[in-house]
């Protein structure tokens, strides 16, 4: 399987969820996820996969679908593993672990721990993984799904003990898994891992036995990559036993599988092993053939030790043939690699010594600073005691003086307090009267304009319409057109009149105003759905932003009425914890199917763009004839809104 295929497989697993675990998603969101799901089949490399998964992560966060967010973290980490960027992979695995921990979801938490183990163990974080494994085990229950996950956690724990060479503890955990499960998907890995432990303990016959058990199960399950890897391990064990004929048979079978399925990352090492066995079997021509084939595969390899082995075997093979030119060529390469390895190890050793020295220096410096701090604390204590004594003496003196002044100032203070209270009341009364007068004047002026439009212009238009309707029976269609135009004008003037009525955001809840404008603005034949989250926090957003959101929603719904031919519209307004408000308006209409429609809709969108730009926001429009139109707007809030603690569990 290629790296790209592994990325695609990982994506499909995360989309369907583990063992059917999923959150309920409404039809509009599910439709969007289905379209994103199909896009993974078109990616051509890891970079395109990153773009796809980041898009899915953004959509999951926008709708706060926590399980999809976790699965997106897994996908992104998997791609970064393919790109050999362990820091980035660790970052996304840590995010998945933290979110699933916050959700108190034992299955997703355990799966995140298991998925992250290879990255963490590769950088030496054995203690971290061990703690996470035990934390996950405490969360799991006794369901069949949780039991399977416990076995995976035990397997992870056994791998940790193998890495740190605590082989008895590793074997105890592997054997415990064998007692607990007969899962054919897990058992071959357990048998192979037991073989690896016995191989490390030089118990070669036992190692071969367990590797063969694992190989048979991998073959039965048609897991070719793991099957070829185990065959190679069995060949290596026979080589260590100096049973080179048997070793050759297993290496050849592994080679055939790796060539068939193009497992080139394993094939180079297998060819080197075959070359070594051929040398012991005195098949020198075949040895050189294997080495030349391995050289082609390993030309871009970064594995210095494997390249060192290749050049050493090439050097000895050409020396045996008496080809001095090639012998010198590969001898020079061999010593160059040898020096490189030596220098790397030397640099690493020096770095370790320097680190140890720096640690000791820091420890000594910390000890000196600690002693200095303790001494300073003693001095400060003495100064504090002296200050307390002086303060007590001053306090007694001041107390006696204040008692003398108290009686004289008591009457004066009471009188001053009464005067201040009267002045404050007068000032507050005047301020309140001014504010009320200003607000009342504004509201009366808007009500006057609204009333004049409604009672004057609307009444006049209605009267003209009635007179024209009496004439239409004996006249041509032109008068009917005039009547229709008057009807539209009447509705628009009535709408303006409605909009001019003051929207008092201090006396009415912002959410209630939004519900009102949606229900009023959307035509009867269009079903309106809306969702606001979190409502309490949205009601505390600054009033200027509330007003702009109100007008934006109003304008977007006007566009839906005029242009979409939709049967349903969905309005979602979400305040995220990073103090960004997301406004999403989606319809199932015909979308922008022509240039004229885009220009016509664009007229209404100009004012929206200006409003969004005024708050340094961002606007995105997605429209096509199959799925309708989706408008997404993000508006940042300078004033921080305090969030309550909400549970993410649906």
3-class DSSP string for 435-477: HHHHHHHHHHHHHHHHHHHHHHHHHHHHHHHHHHHHHHHHCCH
Rounded CA gap, 476 and 69, in Å?
A: 63
- The pLDDT value recorded for residue 307 is 87
Question: 244 is written with which tokens?
Answer: 């080179």
Residue 568's SS3 state is: strand
Rounded CA gap, 20 and 34, in Å?
A: 16
Q: Are 221 and 185 in contact (CB under 8 A)?
A: yes
What structural domains does the chain harbor?
A: 508-636 (3.30.565.10)
Question: 210 is written with which tokens?
Answer: 């367990």
Rounded CA gap, 110 and 115, in Å?
A: 9
Element (H, E) at 63: none
Question: 178 is written with which tokens?
Answer: 């064998």
- In 126-203, where does DSSP find H-type helix? 126-139, 144-163, 167-180, 187-200
- The pLDDT value recorded for residue 17 is 41
Q: What residues are paired with 569 via a beta bridge?
A: 528, 587
Q: Are 88 and 80 in contact (CB under 8 A)?
A: yes
- The pLDDT value recorded for residue 606 is 81
Q: What CA dihedral angle connects 123, 124, 125 and 129, to 10 degrees?
A: 100
Ranges in the chain, pLDDT < 70: 1-44, 340-360, 362-363, 428-448, 450-460, 462-463, 465-481, 483-485, 488, 490-508, 593-604, 639-650
Q: What residues are paired with 624 via a beta bridge?
A: 628
Length of the chain: 650
Count of Cβ atoms closer than 10 Å to residue 192 Cβ? 23
Q: Mention every residue, 6+ apart, whose C-beta is less than 8 A from residue 401.
A: none
What is the 3-class SS of 6-37, one letter each residue?
HHHHHHHHHHHCCCCCCCCCCHHHHHHHHHHH
Rounded to 5°, the CA angle 199-205-211 comes to 65
Q: Mention every residue, 6+ apart, whose C-beta is less than 8 A from residue 492.
A: none
By C-alpha distance, which of 520, 518, 608 is closest to 569?
Answer: 518
* Lateral strand order in the sheet of 618-624: 527-533, 568-575, 580-587, 628-636, 618-624
Q: Which long-range contacts (CB under 8 A, 24 or more apart) does 203-207 make?
A: 204/237, 204/240, 204/241, 207/237
Q: Mention every residue, 6+ apart, whose C-beta is less than 8 A from residue 407.
A: none
Rounded CA gap, 522 and 244, in Å?
A: 82
Rounded CA gap, 480 and 475, in Å?
A: 9
Rounded CA gap, 296 and 331, in Å?
A: 18
Q: Mention every residue, 6+ apart, whose C-beta is less than 8 A from residue 427.
A: none
- The pLDDT value recorded for residue 349 is 54
Q: Mention every residue, 6+ apart, whose C-beta is less than 8 A from residue 218.
A: 188, 192, 224, 226, 227, 230
Rounded CA gap, 211 and 214, in Å?
A: 5
- In 501-561, where does DSSP find H-type helix? 510-521, 535-538, 543-559
Q: What is the gyration radius of the CA atoms in the chain, in angstroms?
A: 39
Rounded CA gap, 69 and 59, in Å?
A: 9
Rounded CA gap, 641 and 546, in Å?
A: 13
- The pLDDT value recorded for residue 142 is 82
Q: What residues are paired with 581 via a beta bridge?
A: 575, 635
By C-alpha distance, which of 492, 556, 490, 464 is closest to 518?
Answer: 556
Instruction: Report CA torsion sign: 58, 64, 68, 71.
Output: positive
By C-alpha distance, which of 177, 123, 133 is closest to 156?
Answer: 133
Rounded CA gap, 15 and 73, in Å?
A: 12
Q: Are 269 and 232 in contact (CB under 8 A)?
A: yes
Distance of CA 170 to the CA centre of its chain: 34
Site of tokens 């989309």? 15
Rounded CA gap, 338 and 332, in Å?
A: 10
Does the pTM of the predicted model rise above 0.85?
A: no
- The pLDDT value recorded for residue 505 is 57
Distance of CA 560 to the CA centre of its chain: 33
Count of Cβ atoms closer than 10 Å to residue 520 Cβ? 12
């Amino acid at each position: 399987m290629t790296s790209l295929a592994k990325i695609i497989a990982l994506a499909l697993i995360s989309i369907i969820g583990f063992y059917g675990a999923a959150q309920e998603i409404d039809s509009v969101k599910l439709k969007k996820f289905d379209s994103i799901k199909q896009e993974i089949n078109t990616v051509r490399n890891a970079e395109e996969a990153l773009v796809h998964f980041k898009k899915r992560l953004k959509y999951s966060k926008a709708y706060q679908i926590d399980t999809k967010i976790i699965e997106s973290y897994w996908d992104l980490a998997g791609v970064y593993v393919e790109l050999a960027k362990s820091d980035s992979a660790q970052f996304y695995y840590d995010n998945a672990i933290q979110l699933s921990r916050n959700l108190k979801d034992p299955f997703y938490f355990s799966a995140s721990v298991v998925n992250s183990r290879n990255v963490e163990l590769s950088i030496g974080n054995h203690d971290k993984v061990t703690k996470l494994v035990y934390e996950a085990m405490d969360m799991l229950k006794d369901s069949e799904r949780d039991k399977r996950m416990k076995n995976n956690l035990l397997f992870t724990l056994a791998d940790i003990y193998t890495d740190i060479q605590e082989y008895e503890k590793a074997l105890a955990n592997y054997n415990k898994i064998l007692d607990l499960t007969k899962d054919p998907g897990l058992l071959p890995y357990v048998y192979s891992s037991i073989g690896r432990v016995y191989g490390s303990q030089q118990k070669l016959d036992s190692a071969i036995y367990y590797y063969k058990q694992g190989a048979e199960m991998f073959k039965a399950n048609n897991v070719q990559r793991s099957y070829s890897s185990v065959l190679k391990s069995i060949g290596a064990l026979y080589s260590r036993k100096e049973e080179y004929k048997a070793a050759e048979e297993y290496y050849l079978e592994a080679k055939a599988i790796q060539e068939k399925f193009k497992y080139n990352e394993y094939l180079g090492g297998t060819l080197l092993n075959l070359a070594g066995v051929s040398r012991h079997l005195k098949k020198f021509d075949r040895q050189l053939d294997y080495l030349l084939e391995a050289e082609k595969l390993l030309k871009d390899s970064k594995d210095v030790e494997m390249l060192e082995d290749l050049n050493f075997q090439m050097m000895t093979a050409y020396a045996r043939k008496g080809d001095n030119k090639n012998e010198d060529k590969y001898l020079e390469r061999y010593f160059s690699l040898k020096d490189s390895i030596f220098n790397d190890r030397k640099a690493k050793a020096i770095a370790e010594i320097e680190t140890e020295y720096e640690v000791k220096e820091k420890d000594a410096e910390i000890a000196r600073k600690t002693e200095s701090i303790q001494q300073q604390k003693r001095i400060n204590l003495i100064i504090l005691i002296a200050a307390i004594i002086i303060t007590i003496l001053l306090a007694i003196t001041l107390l006696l003086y204040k008692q003398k002044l108290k009686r004289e100032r008591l009457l004066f203070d009471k009188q001053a307090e009464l005067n201040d209270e009267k002045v404050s009341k007068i000032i507050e009364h005047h301020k309140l009267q001014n504010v009320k007068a200003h607000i009342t004047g504004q509201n009366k002026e808007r009500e006057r304009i609204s009333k004049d439009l409604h009672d004057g212009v609307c009444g006049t238009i209605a009267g003209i319409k009635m007179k024209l309707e009496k004439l239409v029976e004996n006249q041509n269609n032109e008068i009917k057109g005039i009547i229709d135009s008057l009807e539209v004008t009447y509705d628009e003037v009535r709408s303006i009149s409605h909009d001019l009525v003051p929207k008092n955001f201090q006396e009415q809840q912002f959410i209630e105003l939004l519900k009102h404008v949606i229900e009023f603005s959307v035509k009867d034949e269009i079903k309106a759905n809306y969702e606001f989250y979190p409502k309490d926090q949205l009601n505390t957003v600054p009033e200027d932003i509330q007003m702009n959101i109100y007008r934006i929603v109003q304008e977007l719904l006007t566009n839906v009425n005029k242009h979409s031919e939709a049967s349903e519209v969905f309005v979602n307004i979400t305040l995220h914890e990073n103090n960004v408000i997301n406004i999403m308006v989606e319809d199932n209409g015909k979308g922008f199917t022509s240039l004229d429609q885009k220009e016509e809709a664009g007229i209404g969108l100009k004012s929206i763009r200006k409003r969004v730009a005024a708050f340094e926001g961002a606007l995105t429009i997605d429209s096509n004839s199959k799925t309708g139109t989706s408008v997404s707007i993000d508006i940042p809030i300078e004033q921080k809104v305090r969030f309550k603690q909400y549970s993410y569990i649906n």
